[in-house]
Structure 1
């Protein structure tokens, strides 16, 4: 403190001396006056709000095995992959010079069914610590992704990889055992990619020495070194993350100098910060449309953007359900028939989104091919009653259904603190109760969001919001994603099989879908999977989610709910 005081005092004396000298000197020329009167530009800073606390820089490191709202967008600020998908899911080169395709010769499919994909890394690509980003990093990433002990990094697609060759520091070629429809997304960040790049020079030694503690390294939080447009300055657990522009980013230095990402677990507090001018942008699933509309009408310095960001759906517990009747497809069909999903969609999305009969939405290009395969259940309480009674369930004197042992049928419905999810859960519980099915809505406490066992052993239904379309479809309900006790309740993509569905025939069909390159044949397999999902109500769609993104007017070139082009974002003041 004394040293700082002496420095400030010395600076003041020097400034006064300079002022004295200037006053006694001859007037400066107009050109000198002009250049001396331009102060340095103020740093460009923005603040982003995320609902809840981030467990790490990557979603895969979440100890709960679930997904924190907006973490996928956060990943894209500090991490870059070889390619990236924009807001329309079009793929662009990022750290690579080009996206592999059959047209440019970087994606080759051989007569025997094997494939090769090749990427050329951009010259000058670097990690945040200044080390070159090389093909050796990608070979190391593939090694981690194929290691059976590294469950959180495991991806079924890695099992299709035959070899990874690195002919030079900037070239990597992956040989595939068989076709895979998303081979071009390897070494990419976010839900639309897999095997995001890892820095070999930092992580190879701890990976080799102790795999069991690999995900506990400070690297994933306070010592993170990425390859994205922004680099870590400060990780304050329970509070915020501070990111600085990475001056050596291969696509150019970001226009924004600093980004603060604040952890705000309460939506009302988050919106109060928006109105106060503290927050410039919210990530997806932070606030509901219903919450955001009143703020939109008051916030003169910003706007609300409605963005279809996924589907609100329920995972039934299928490993050890309570009540046991939940394991019967007839019971699940009855449940979905008791819910007026259209009314829910109209109320909670302001009529901006339709009901969700499947993960593939009507506006998506695949829908026309698979529409006949989707089994729909309309709001029909009478039909629901017939299904329940057909199972031998009878209504007791209390007006609720009982099983053959006269045990009251009641279903727990869990959800997160997200406002729309809570309201949807309460509404679903009300519909079930009206139909004579006991229902207990439970909001998962913030303190238990990272509790893997608690999150994986819910007894009834878990209502969540998840990615929709083909990006959210891959490995949906695959056995490899089931968070089982013997896996310590962790598995790659465990958020896509929360209820632990296990079916070898279904798995085989999903693997066939992932390896069928001809589009028409692939759509046929997609239709078969959707038929199973919807007919058996293995995942129970409620409505497509219209997400409210709050964005300050001063923030430009930032599409909602994505950070794929964060280096191009700018502010006008």
Structure 2
């Protein structure tokens, strides 16, 4: 059967750029053994018109959010749900390209929003869309942006450039100052959510963000049963300012209307198994947090599809302890790696072999050529040594054991024995800071700009210099060259052993339209204002 014929292209418009977002639809009519064809790629995001409006989309997960504060969200589900309620200065679409949201335009050198000073300093001008309002009718202004900036500065682990400052010029205009050129300002602005300054003073932030009663996103929380459910209704003021003529001078603001849905309802189930049971029953419009091992039981669910999209995430092995300095062993292990086989064994084919340390979704990093497995060269590099290596995985990672097994099979012919083990999250994270000689099977997505990955890099001078050049240049070609040099050095010194890029997997009902997952963490609801449901 040709799965394309059943791909519901008239029901679900997908966008992706070639080599960026691979969105594959599995439909109930496809038999388990067939390989579906990818959905057609188009150049940029365009929502399908909402032929029907109203209704409530049901979302399900096995984790309940501890907060709906987008500035302190620590999990994918927290950020995914928080952005139903809070809008960004500018966002990132399904191809990780910035689009204006609360800001009238994404500031660049070309549109005059970025100015470079003679001393090397950089100034970014932020202009808010006139007439924006919070869900209670109060205006959204510069004070709200400043409050969001303060929250961003306090984020745990956040590394901001020295001297970065945000100042208010008027109620709708701000200036962002940097002591040097800082190219990741685009990624930083996409992470800045203005917060309601008129509502938060004198209020416990934790209590407010458990169920915010003032929002800027397409929906506003209406009811909650802690630990079980959250319900949102359409924000009546979401289109204020956005829908006015000239709100976005370049005409590139994608959300100039009220949300098409009446609301969104989120349900938490007690366990992963319970989530799979609900997925098998087709009991929700969108189920996230799925993994490759889950899919065998979900391919024949009537009225449901599996959406597999690229993620800005990389699975890799991090050498720890004395293994960091065992270049002979690391060279041999890297030469023997069959990354395509790893994707097949651990992700059931839902992923992409790594060709460097940066995910392919980060197009600013460019690409370096991947390497094919060379077992003969690996044996020569090992020079007859017989070695046992410990590969440590996260116990909560459903595919970790599959990856460990694949590595063991690949390395055994050259005399390397894998001792597979796992630890709970807290113990695993502690091991990353320890001195045990092991390889940590580690997955991370620190951000949408290649510079965000610098904290994962080794303290190697040449590598850090290339990363610095990429961070301090606004020229796309210069940035790409710098990050390509960094990637080559990263791989060459075995800073980590990149394995593969896992895909983000969700189950989506046939009646939900315009679901367009983004590679970014927590960006599965970035375009929820465009979602609509087909009745029947």
TM over 0.5: yes
- Which residue number in structure 2 is paired with residue 249 of structure 1? 238
SS of structure 1 residue aligned to 2:158: coil
- Choose which of 140, 146, 150 in structure 1 pairs with 2:147: 140
- Which residue number in structure 2 is paired with residue 519 of structure 1? 476
- Which residue number in structure 1 is paired with residue 90 of structure 2? 83
Task: Report if the CA contact (8 A) 2:364-2:450 is conserved.
Answer: no
Is there any run of 5+ residues in structure 1 with no aligned partner, and where?
A: 1-40, 189-193, 207-213, 396-400, 402-408, 479-496
Q: Give, in whole Å, the separation in 2 of the partners of 1:61 and 1:549.
A: 24
Pair 1:45 & 2:56 matched? yes
Q: Give, in whole Å, the separation in 1 of the partners of 2:81 and 2:142.
A: 25
Q: Give, in whole Å, the separation in 1 of the partners of 2:96 and 2:432.
A: 30
Task: Report if the CA contact (8 A) 1:52-1:69 is conserved.
Answer: no
SS of structure 1 residue aligned to 2:418: strand
Pair 1:107 & 2:114 matched? yes
Task: Report if the CA contact (8 A) 1:305-1:548 is conserved.
Answer: yes
Pair 1:231 & 2:224 matched? no
Cα distance change on mapping 1:430 and 1:259 into 2, 3 Å = farther
1:19-418 superposed matches below 5 A: 44-50=55-61, 52-57=63-68, 61=72, 68-69=75-76, 71-128=78-135, 130-146=137-153, 150-152=154-156, 154-157=158-161, 159=162, 161=164, 163-188=165-190, 194-202=191-199, 217-222=206-211, 226-234=215-223, 236=225, 238-250=227-239, 251-264=256-269, 267-283=272-288, 286-289=289-292, 291-296=294-299, 298-316=300-318, 318=320, 321=321, 324-351=322-349, 353-360=351-358, 370-371=367-368, 377-389=371-383, 394-395=385-386, 401=387, 409-415=388-394, 417-418=396-397
Cα distance change on mapping 1:363 and 1:558 into 2, 3 Å = closer
Cα distance change on mapping 1:317 and 1:258 into 2, 3 Å = farther
Q: TM-score, normalised by structure 1?
A: 0.69
Task: Report if the CA contact (8 A) 1:254-1:567 is conserved.
Answer: yes
Task: Report if the CA contact (8 A) 1:534-1:540 is conserved.
Answer: yes
Is there any run of 5+ residues in structure 2 with no aligned partner, and where?
A: 1-51, 240-255, 519-523
Pair 1:548 & 2:494 matched? no
Task: Report if the CA contact (8 A) 1:100-1:118 is conserved.
Answer: yes
- Quote how far apart the aligned CAs of 1:441 are: 3.6
- Quote how far apart the aligned CAs of 1:144 are: 4.4
Cα distance change on mapping 1:254 and 1:467 into 2, 3 Å = same
Q: TM-score, normalised by structure 2?
A: 0.74
Pair 1:463 & 2:441 matched? yes
- Which residue number in structure 1 is paired with residue 43 of structure 2? none
Deviations 1:466-521 (A, max 9, x none): 449x825223142xxxxxxxxxxxxxxxxxx3xx8545664454233111112232
Radius of gyration: which is bigger? 1
- Quote how far apart the aligned CAs of 1:356 are: 0.7
Deviations 1:426-480 (A, max 9, x none): 42345455654453444554xx469964776595344344449x825223142xx
SS of structure 2 residue aligned to 1:99: coil
- Quote how far apart the aligned CAs of 1:94 are: 0.8
Task: Report if the CA contact (8 A) 2:148-2:194 is conserved.
Answer: yes
- Which residue number in structure 2 is paired with residue 32 of structure 1? none
Aligned positions, number? 462
Q: Give, in whole Å, the separation in 2 of the partners of 1:453 and 1:231.
A: 38
- Which residue number in structure 1 is paired with residue 402 of structure 2? 423
> Which stretch of structure 1 is more off in the superposition, 244-253 or 346-355?
346-355
Alignment RMSD (CA, Å): 3.7
SS of structure 2 residue aligned to 1:200: coil
SS of structure 1 residue aligned to 2:266: strand
Cα distance change on mapping 1:505 and 1:89 into 2, 3 Å = same
Cα distance change on mapping 1:105 and 1:51 into 2, 3 Å = same
Q: Give, in whole Å, the separation in 2 of the partners of 1:225 and 1:317.
A: 47
Task: Report if the CA contact (8 A) 1:60-1:152 is conserved.
Answer: no
Cα distance change on mapping 1:518 and 1:79 into 2, 3 Å = same
SS of structure 2 residue aligned to 1:537: coil
More helix by share: 1
Cα distance change on mapping 1:199 and 1:457 into 2, 3 Å = farther
Q: Give, in whole Å, the separation in 2 of the partners of 1:532 and 1:98.
A: 36
Q: Give, in whole Å, the separation in 2 of the partners of 1:465 and 1:116.
A: 35
Pair 1:570 & 2:532 matched? yes
- Quote how far apart the aligned CAs of 1:353 are: 4.2
Cα distance change on mapping 1:410 and 1:301 into 2, 3 Å = same
- Quote how far apart the aligned CAs of 1:179 are: 1.6
Task: Report if the CA contact (8 A) 1:280-1:555 is conserved.
Answer: yes
Cα distance change on mapping 1:535 and 1:238 into 2, 3 Å = farther
